[in-house]
Amino acid sequence: MLLDTAHADDFLYKYQLLMVYLNDGEIPNGKEGFAAIRPEIYECLDELEESMLEVVGSEFLSNLREAAFGEFVYLKKHKEGYVFKHIETGCYYQTLTLTTPLDEMLDEFIVVNTAIVPFRGSFVCDGLITSSNVALGKGLMKEVSEGYHQAKKDGSLRRIT
Protein backbone atom coordinates (compact mmCIF):
# COMPACT_ATOMS: atom_id res chain seq x y z
CA MET A 1 0.00 0.00 0.00
CA LEU A 2 2.05 2.87 -1.34
CA LEU A 3 1.23 6.53 -1.52
CA ASP A 4 1.14 7.59 -5.17
CA THR A 5 4.57 8.50 -6.51
CA ALA A 6 3.99 12.24 -6.98
CA HIS A 7 2.76 12.69 -3.41
CA ALA A 8 5.52 10.45 -2.01
CA ASP A 9 8.15 12.50 -3.85
CA ASP A 10 6.62 15.73 -2.51
CA PHE A 11 6.64 14.42 1.06
CA LEU A 12 10.22 13.14 0.83
CA TYR A 13 11.48 16.37 -0.75
CA LYS A 14 10.01 18.54 2.02
CA TYR A 15 11.00 16.16 4.82
CA GLN A 16 14.58 16.00 3.55
CA LEU A 17 14.76 19.79 3.20
CA LEU A 18 13.90 20.10 6.89
CA MET A 19 16.55 17.57 7.85
CA VAL A 20 19.22 19.27 5.77
CA TYR A 21 18.32 22.58 7.42
CA LEU A 22 18.57 20.98 10.89
CA ASN A 23 21.91 19.41 9.91
CA ASP A 24 23.48 22.81 9.21
CA GLY A 25 22.95 22.56 5.47
CA GLU A 26 24.62 19.16 5.12
CA ILE A 27 22.86 16.12 3.67
CA PRO A 28 22.70 13.46 6.41
CA ASN A 29 24.71 10.32 5.79
CA GLY A 30 22.36 7.55 4.67
CA LYS A 31 19.17 6.30 6.25
CA GLU A 32 20.79 6.15 9.67
CA GLY A 33 21.84 9.79 9.43
CA PHE A 34 18.34 10.90 8.46
CA ALA A 35 16.82 8.75 11.23
CA ALA A 36 19.20 10.28 13.78
CA ILE A 37 18.12 13.82 12.83
CA ARG A 38 14.39 13.05 12.63
CA PRO A 39 13.66 13.64 16.36
CA GLU A 40 14.85 17.22 15.93
CA ILE A 41 12.00 17.87 13.49
CA TYR A 42 9.46 17.19 16.21
CA GLU A 43 11.46 19.06 18.87
CA CYS A 44 12.05 22.16 16.71
CA LEU A 45 8.72 22.74 14.96
CA ASP A 46 8.51 26.37 16.11
CA GLU A 47 11.99 27.10 14.71
CA LEU A 48 11.15 25.27 11.48
CA GLU A 49 7.98 27.27 11.11
CA GLU A 50 9.95 30.50 11.43
CA SER A 51 12.76 29.45 9.09
CA MET A 52 11.23 27.02 6.59
CA LEU A 53 7.60 28.07 6.24
CA GLU A 54 8.05 29.54 2.77
CA VAL A 55 10.09 26.55 1.63
CA VAL A 56 7.86 23.64 2.71
CA GLY A 57 4.54 25.41 3.32
CA SER A 58 2.23 25.78 6.28
CA GLU A 59 0.19 22.68 5.45
CA PHE A 60 3.23 20.40 5.64
CA LEU A 61 4.38 21.92 8.93
CA SER A 62 0.85 21.61 10.30
CA ASN A 63 0.87 17.93 9.31
CA LEU A 64 4.11 17.44 11.24
CA ARG A 65 2.52 18.99 14.33
CA GLU A 66 -0.20 16.34 14.10
CA ALA A 67 2.26 13.48 13.54
CA ALA A 68 2.85 10.63 15.95
CA PHE A 69 6.55 10.00 16.50
CA GLY A 70 8.29 7.40 18.61
CA GLU A 71 7.96 3.70 19.30
CA PHE A 72 5.27 1.69 17.60
CA VAL A 73 4.34 -1.92 17.33
CA TYR A 74 4.12 -2.82 13.66
CA LEU A 75 1.29 -5.34 13.48
CA LYS A 76 0.95 -6.34 9.87
CA LYS A 77 -0.30 -5.50 6.41
CA HIS A 78 -4.04 -5.48 5.97
CA LYS A 79 -5.85 -5.01 2.70
CA GLU A 80 -6.27 -1.26 3.31
CA GLY A 81 -2.84 -0.45 4.71
CA TYR A 82 -0.21 -1.19 7.32
CA VAL A 83 -1.25 -1.20 10.95
CA PHE A 84 0.77 0.31 13.81
CA LYS A 85 0.09 0.83 17.49
CA HIS A 86 1.74 3.90 19.01
CA ILE A 87 3.15 2.62 22.29
CA GLU A 88 3.02 5.96 24.13
CA THR A 89 -0.63 6.77 23.33
CA GLY A 90 -2.07 3.33 22.58
CA CYS A 91 -3.56 4.73 19.35
CA TYR A 92 -3.80 2.45 16.32
CA TYR A 93 -2.99 3.77 12.84
CA GLN A 94 -3.58 2.38 9.38
CA THR A 95 -1.01 3.86 7.02
CA LEU A 96 0.45 3.94 3.57
CA THR A 97 4.18 3.93 2.91
CA LEU A 98 6.21 6.16 0.64
CA THR A 99 8.44 3.94 -1.48
CA THR A 100 8.75 0.39 -0.12
CA PRO A 101 6.07 -2.00 1.11
CA LEU A 102 6.63 -2.63 4.82
CA ASP A 103 5.93 -6.33 4.54
CA GLU A 104 9.10 -6.54 2.42
CA MET A 105 11.15 -4.84 5.16
CA LEU A 106 9.71 -5.90 8.50
CA ASP A 107 8.54 -8.91 10.38
CA GLU A 108 5.10 -8.67 11.94
CA PHE A 109 4.60 -7.73 15.59
CA ILE A 110 7.91 -5.99 16.21
CA VAL A 111 8.74 -2.73 17.94
CA VAL A 112 9.97 0.01 15.62
CA ASN A 113 10.82 3.69 15.81
CA THR A 114 9.15 5.80 13.14
CA ALA A 115 6.79 8.71 12.52
CA ILE A 116 3.27 8.56 11.17
CA VAL A 117 2.24 11.78 9.49
CA PRO A 118 -1.14 12.86 8.10
CA PHE A 119 -0.50 13.79 4.48
CA ARG A 120 -2.80 14.36 1.50
CA GLY A 121 -5.78 12.60 3.07
CA SER A 122 -3.82 9.60 4.32
CA PHE A 123 -1.55 8.66 7.16
CA VAL A 124 1.94 7.83 5.93
CA CYS A 125 4.83 6.12 7.63
CA ASP A 126 7.81 8.40 7.05
CA GLY A 127 9.98 5.50 5.86
CA LEU A 128 12.77 6.03 8.38
CA ILE A 129 12.09 2.88 10.32
CA THR A 130 14.56 1.69 12.87
CA SER A 131 13.98 -1.51 14.76
CA SER A 132 14.85 -2.18 18.35
CA ASN A 133 14.97 -5.90 17.52
CA VAL A 134 12.15 -6.55 19.97
CA ALA A 135 9.48 -8.98 18.84
CA LEU A 136 6.28 -9.52 20.77
CA GLY A 137 5.51 -12.84 22.37
CA LYS A 138 2.29 -14.72 21.65
CA GLY A 139 0.40 -13.18 24.58
CA LEU A 140 1.26 -9.60 23.60
CA MET A 141 0.61 -10.35 19.92
CA LYS A 142 -2.89 -11.50 20.84
CA GLU A 143 -3.48 -8.45 23.05
CA VAL A 144 -2.32 -6.01 20.37
CA SER A 145 -4.37 -7.78 17.68
CA GLU A 146 -7.47 -7.65 19.84
CA GLY A 147 -6.82 -3.97 20.49
CA TYR A 148 -6.64 -3.34 16.76
CA HIS A 149 -9.92 -5.15 16.12
CA GLN A 150 -11.55 -3.19 18.95
CA ALA A 151 -10.24 0.11 17.55
CA LYS A 152 -11.57 -0.81 14.13
CA LYS A 153 -14.93 -1.77 15.63
CA ASP A 154 -15.34 1.32 17.83
CA GLY A 155 -14.07 3.77 15.21
CA SER A 156 -10.91 4.84 17.06
CA LEU A 157 -8.59 3.40 14.38
CA ARG A 158 -6.91 6.34 12.67
CA ARG A 159 -7.07 5.37 9.06
CA ILE A 160 -6.70 6.36 5.47
CA THR A 161 -9.51 8.59 4.29
CA distance 78 to 54: 37
Helices and strands: H and E segment counts in the chain: 5, 6
Give yes or no for residue 160 having a pLDDT over 80. no
Total-model pTM:
0.94
| Three-state SS at 116 | strand
Q: With contact defined as beta carbons under 8 Å apart, do 159 and 124 qualify?
A: no
Residue-level pLDDT at 161: 62
Q: Tell me the pLDDT tens digit for each residue of 84-127.
A: 999 999 999 999 999 999 999 999 999 999 999 999 999 999 99
